[in-house]
Amino acid sequence: MRIFDPHIHMTSRTTDDYERMAAAGVRALVEPAFWLGQPRTSAASFVDYFDSLVGWEPFRAGQFGIRHHATIALNPKEANDPRCREVLDLLPRYLDKDGVVAVGEVGYDSMTPEEDEVFAAQLALAVAHELPALVHTPHRDKARGTERSLAVVAESGLDPGRVVIDHLNEVTVPLVRDSGCWLGFSIYPETKMSPPRMVELLRTYGTERMLVNSAADWGRSDPLLTRATGEAMLAAGFDADDVDRVLWRNPVEFYGQSGRLELADDESAGEPAGEATPGTFEGNSILRGGS
């Protein structure tokens, strides 16, 4: 089983997690910029954080044979802090860097006017830099937040096929399914989504445009729940090709639209290659374009 985790916050994880992930079949991942739990006091602190996402974390991941990519943005929660607004001026510098495969996480936390403004501004950056966008739906009033997110995406001019609406659940999937956007699901031990619930959603809606991630932030989370979801799919009667589509080919297709996805020579959107050997990584190719 080969796994591409399309949303995981490795800044919050240890090198032991990287080792376990490699052994479980994780070969590539995307780490979105997010709120670290402690309010930042100036835009300058984002520079160090973004530098780590495009420098230190790819190095850490590479020691275990995992290809690390990032998405860059001013996250929705800190969009409300006027001290952070200068970050918008910093973003173009990072959105042009290799390994940055989308603008994100953008979207809503509390659905304030400030979040509206920053969300729209960052979708405009995605259009200008020809990048996909990763949209965070709020933890509270999720249905209204999802509807509002879809409206902002529609107004932005960004092709919905280049947008993933993340942190979905049973209530919000029907809102997104016919929008043309991709559907993202965060699998957690207690909250958001579980492997059995995810399997039922895949039974109902199929595997097309579905992205399954572990998120695995600084809260109670598990970076191996992508693997657990794949195993649950097999136990429920899905075949290995279904699992490979959800856990590998779908994220490769979505992020491949950036033209900056870097994978090992045998890792394409086609048929699964042999199992990865943890701790090794030989060669790479860059997927240009794609859809």
Q: How far apart (Å, rounded) are the C-alpha atoms in residues 140 and 43?
A: 27
* Structure confidence at residue 40 as a pLDDT band (50, 70, 90): confident
Residue 197 has pLDDT above 90, yes or no: yes
Q: What is the pTM of this model?
A: 0.90
- Cβ atoms of 185 and 165 within 8 Å: the answer is no
Rg (the chain; Cα; Å): 17
Residue 222, CA distances (Å) to 11, 20, 229 in order: 14, 11, 12
**pLDDT tens across 170-181, in order?**
999 999 999 999
| Residue tagged 């990763």 (tokens) | 134
Note the CATH architecture for domain 3-287.
Alpha-Beta Barrel (3.20)
Domain extent listing, the chain: 3-287
CA triplet 207, 139, 11: central angle to 5 degrees? 80
pLDDT at 275: 46
**pLDDT tens across 97-152, in order?**
999 999 999 999 999 999 999 999 999 999 999 999 999 998 888 899 999 999 99
* Structure confidence at residue 267 as a pLDDT band (50, 70, 90): low
